[in-house]
Amino acid sequence: MALCDTCGNEYDKTFTVTRGEQTKTFDSFECAIHLMAPSCAHCGCRILGHGVESGTGIYCCASCARHSGEALLADRA
């Protein structure tokens, strides 16, 4: 049994997620998202999909990017 790095729950069905050099252990996708998913630079929500990215930040959507002054990003081409 392993401990979840987010909530500390000891669980027999944990899994690990690796991003770059960092590997973390979780007991649920909710905990993994809470700890590892990036946050939108404008509204702060967790980005679960691709999002949109500029040189100054990552955003959940082009609307949030525009609110932050990014005029060239779009959700669709």
Give the model's pLDDT for residue 68: 94
Domain enclosing residue 46, as ranges: 38-77
Q: Whole-angstrom Cα distance, residue 47 to residue 71?
A: 20
Query: Which two tokens mark 9?
Result: 């729950």
- The model's pLDDT over 5-38, given as tens digits with 9 standing for 90+, comes to 999 999 999 999 999 999 999 999 999 999 999 9
Q: Whole-angstrom Cα distance, residue 52 to residue 47?
A: 10
- The model's pLDDT over 31-40, given as tens digits with 9 standing for 90+, comes to 999 999 999 9
One domain for residues 25 and 53: no
One domain for residues 48 and 31: no
Q: What is the DSSP letter of 62?
A: H
- pTM exceeds 0.85 for this model: no
CA trace torsion 22, 27, 33, 34 (10° rounding): -90
One domain for residues 42 and 66: yes
One domain for residues 25 and 57: no
